[in-house]
């Protein structure tokens, strides 16, 4: 047996599917899992001439071509550090470890330094697309040393998804933690996108009186137009999925959402960088509120519930669609503003148009809409906010009244639609001549002599408030 092209540590869903994807492209993959059972299961269920099981870490490492390329698809956090510690004594100068999990980017920066000190290379590789993406073509966001990336590029470009124009949905993102950072914010945008869609559903169902069948039809239709995306497509499928006990599965699922934390990390990072990502934060908080099951039940009995309404016509669905589109623009504008702030803070040369370009395929937020983001950054690389790009400004202008109407309706009827509300508030704050900050400055100066600037004179002023 010749030497292996790449080693995959972690034979759970993501690792095994990505290994099979690599094997399908002719790469010999050494497979290892810290317990042998998963490796045995994968090889038994998916026998493949290019998949090779190893049950001893030293033999696994020694089976690899130099420089060794070892990909980790294991649980983020301590297991990654522990695996690095086990691998390091077995590796030789120039070998490469690639972490494909949802690791926190600061951990990636720390690990990269540690390996660099030992003459080894470390990559934080964002991977999106879930199980199917890993198997058939994910979106891949590698971060690490640019020159070393050439050693892994052929494998990643071969297995990545392809956009409609044939471009691989994989691009070198930047140094150290850049790949994992870009993946983290991708997930934050994913949270906002999903929350906006959930709010569109709430509006259609509870304000519009739409049945699941009508909701499925609306999403199916939306998926033919400017909202065309993976998430809208699966949402149409979900509303049409019958339950074996009658009705649709969606109505049998507990109204309480989980989260693993990448959206929360995005919000925390945005606060640190002074970037408003209110839609992402609203989406995190909406999941938190959804878990307050007892509180919701108790208060729901005390405060008037939303009244039932006569079913509204399809023109209502159109207003909701337009609102969703504007909400989506606001969410992506916030996510990309965070990319910009992070690029200058961490010294990453992020190519925003390219990032949107690789999101076009393989990942959870893949959407036609991303083409427009790439175009916006191509025509102006210094764009401060996506909302300033002519295309998006025009869309906001055309659809803002719909969003305003829908948010007002939701508020009137007591429907929680926080992401849409944040979208209108974000746009209003971004274009407002008056935001009341003069009063904030006066208060700060009053109680703390924090000083203020004036509209009519240059300089810094303090007033003797009485």
Q: What Cα–Cα distance (Å) separates residue 30 from each residue in 25, 33, 76, 97, 434? A: 14, 10, 21, 14, 61
Toward ligand 6PG, which CB reaches closer, 102 or 278?
A: 102
Toward ligand 6PG, which CB reaches closer, 267 or 402?
A: 267
CB of 284 to ligand 6PG, least distance (A): 9
Q: Rounded to an integer, what is the distance from CA 341 to the centroid of its chain?
A: 17
371 is catalytic: no
Residue list for the binding site for NADP(+):
10-15, 33-35, 74-76, 102
307 is catalytic: no
Toward ligand 6PG, which CB reaches closer, 152 or 231?
A: 231
Toward ligand 6PG, which CB reaches closer, 64 or 72?
A: 72
CB of 180 to ligand 6PG, least distance (A): 11
Residue list for the binding site for substrate:
102, 128-130, 186-187, 191, 260, 287, 444, 450
CB of 334 to ligand 6PG, least distance (A): 17
**3, 113, 114, 183: which one is catalytic?**
183
CB of 133 to ligand 6PG, least distance (A): 6
**157, 190, 252, 272: which one is catalytic?**
190
CB of 200 to ligand 6PG, least distance (A): 18
In the bound state, the residue with its beta carbon closest to ligand 6PG is 128
Closest CA to 119 of 82, 159, 148: 148
Toward ligand 6PG, which CB reaches closer, 6 or 363?
A: 363
CB of 191 to ligand 6PG, least distance (A): 7
Binding footprint of ligand 6PG on the chain (CB under 6 A): 102, 128-130, 187, 190, 258-260, 262-263, 363-364
Residue list for the binding site:
10-15, 33-35, 74-76, 102, 128-130, 186-187, 191, 260, 287, 444, 450
Q: Which residues are catalytic?
A: 183, 190
């Amino acid at each position: 047996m010749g030497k292996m092209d790449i080693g995959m540590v972690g034979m759970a869903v993501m690792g095994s599917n990505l290994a099979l994807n690599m094997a399908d492209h002719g790469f010999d993959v050494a497979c290892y899992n810290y317990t042998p059972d998963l490796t045995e299961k994968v090889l038994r269920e998916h026998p493949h001439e290019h998949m090779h099981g190893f049950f001893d870490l030293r033999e696994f490492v020694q089976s690899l071509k130099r420089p060794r390329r070892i990909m980790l698809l294991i649980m983020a956090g301590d297991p990654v550090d522990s695996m690095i510690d086990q691998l390091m004594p077995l590796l030789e100068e120039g070998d490469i470890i690639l972490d494909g999990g949802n690791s926190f980017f600061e951990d990636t920066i720390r690990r990269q330094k540690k390996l660099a000190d030992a003459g080894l290379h470390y990559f934080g590789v964002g991977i999106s697309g879930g199980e199917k993406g890993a198997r058939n073509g994910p979106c891949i966001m590698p971060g690490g040393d640019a020159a070393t990336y050439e050693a892994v590029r052929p494998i990643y470009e071969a297995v990545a998804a392809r956009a409609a124009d044939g471009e691989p949905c994989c691009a070198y993102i930047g140094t150290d933690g850049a790949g994992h950072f870009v993946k983290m914010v991708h997930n934050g945008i994913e949270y906002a996108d999903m929350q906006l869609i959930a709010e569109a559903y709430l509006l259609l169902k509870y304000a519009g009186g739409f049945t699941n069948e009508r909701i499925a039809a609306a999403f199916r239709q939306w998926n033919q137009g400017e909202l065309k995306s993976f998430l809208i497509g699966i949402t149409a499928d979900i509303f049409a999925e019958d339950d074996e006990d009658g009705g649709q599965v969606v109505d049998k699922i507990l109204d309480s959402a989980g989260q693993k934390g990448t959206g929360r990390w995005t919000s925390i990072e945005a606060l640190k960088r002074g970037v408003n990502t209110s839609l992402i934060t609203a989406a995190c908080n909406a999941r938190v509120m959804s878990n307050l099951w007892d509180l919701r039940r108790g208060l729901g009995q005390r405060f008037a519930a939303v009244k039932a309404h006569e079913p509204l016509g399809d023109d209502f669905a159109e207003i909701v669609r337009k609102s969703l589109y504007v909400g989506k623009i606001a969410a992506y504008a916030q996510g990309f503003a965070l990319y910009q702030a992070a690029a200058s803070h961490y010294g990453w040369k992020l190519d925003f148009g390219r990032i949107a370009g690789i999101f076009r395929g393989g990942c959870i937020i893949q959407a036609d809409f991303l083409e427009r983001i790439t175009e916006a950054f191509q025509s102006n690389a210094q764009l401060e906010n996506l909302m300033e790009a002519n295309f998006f400004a025009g869309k906001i202008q055309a659809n803002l009244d719909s969003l305003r109407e829908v948010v007002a309706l939701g508020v009137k009827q007591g429907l929680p639609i926080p992401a849409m509300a944040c979208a209108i508030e974000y746009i209003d704050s971004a274009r407002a001549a008056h935001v009341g900050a003069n009063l904030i400055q006066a208060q700060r100066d009053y109680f703390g002599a924090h000083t203020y600037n004036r509209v009519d004179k240059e300089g810094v002023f303090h007033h003797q408030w009485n």
